Amino acid sequence: MLSSVEADQPNVYVHSGLGTGVVDTAPLWPTTIVVDSAWSRSRDQTIEFWFKQESNSTTSYCVLSVGSSNTRRMIVAVNRSNHASYPGKVFFSFSGASGSASLYSANRYDDGQWHHCVIEILQIGGFVNLYFYFDGVLESNHYRAYPFSFGAWGNTTIGDCERFIPGYVIQGSPIDEIALYDRVIDDERKLAHYNEVMSGPPGPSVVIAGQVNISGSVKTNKLVRLNTAQFDVDGFIRTLILKDPLPFSITSQIDIFGNVKAAMAGKAVATSTRMQSNELDTIVQTGIGIRL
């Protein structure tokens, strides 16, 4: 089955290797991954990747670079935690015939956790517009009053900006699932890419018997069956549906304080509720409907 990213047909997709990644394995650096730059030669582009920066990091690292010289180049990088001006922030830096700029994320992401980043480059009315999305949500946007064109700048290098900024080379594998597009992608697709990873790979069914007390949330994308004498939920039950049906069954005494939420690849799913004595059944049919 194609992943959501593969289904959207990026021009470049780098997602496997020997390192530890957010999904399965990731490219392991130091190494050199050179890909074609056809993705950069249209009017608009999208750069997508997962990354991780430690809270005590002392080295900034490059996500990708493309260019022919320091005056004709673009880089995306993640700053170190002890950066003097922009600690822990993702930045996009370009220099071209019309001008140059370094644009930064609004927030810092050096918390030692994996984060999903999508950068959109959109040309409107002779202006270049840049949008930062993190973990499926628009975080910030920037614009410059001139166009930005990559031109015939040669190949793209992933994980290495050494030719433009000395020392910006990854050690380890803190980036994964790198996808490059020669167009912008819809917001719902960005969220779908994030949700697919966050839901985790399909796992085995789980059966829990006895008394169950949950403070927080239950998040799953596979069969869960809870047979209990007493079931208390202080928080919410969240079920994320991608492609497969998700039977969810609870029997016996049920007390729920909070919400029952359902989503399908980032979209709301219509629900209806019916209580029958002491049994609550949730059935997702082909990932579309829920019957309670």
pLDDT at position 237: 59
Q: In a 10 Å sphere around its CB, with 0-12 CB exposed, 13-18 middle and 19+ buried, how is residue 12 labelled?
A: buried
Predicted TM-score of the model (pTM): 0.69
Distances 174 to 57, 79, 92 between C-alpha atoms, Å: 12, 13, 17
Q: Which domains does the chain possess?
A: 4-199 (2.60.120.200), 206-291 (no CATH)
Q: Which of 135, 130, 129, 127 is nearest to 107 (CA)?
A: 135
Q: Which residues contact 114 (CB under 8 A, 6 or more apart)?
A: 22, 50, 51, 52, 176
- Judge contact between 265 and 246, C-beta under 8 A: no
pLDDT recorded at residue 209: 57
Residue 226 host element (H or E):
strand 224-241
Which positions ≥6 away from 238 have C-beta within 8 Å? 217, 218, 219, 261, 262, 263
Q: pLDDT 10s per residue in the chain (292 long)? A: 578 999 999 999 999 999 999 988 999 998 889 999 999 999 999 999 999 999 999 999 999 999 988 889 999 999 999 999 999 999 999 998 888 899 999 999 999 999 999 999 999 888 999 999 999 999 999 989 988 888 888 899 999 988 898 888 898 999 999 999 999 999 999 999 999 998 865 444 455 556 666 665 555 544 555 555 565 666 655 555 554 545 555 555 666 666 555 554 445 454 444 444 444 454 444 444 444 4
For residue 273, what pLDDT is reported? 43
pLDDT attached to residue 214: 67
84 token code pair = 């003097």
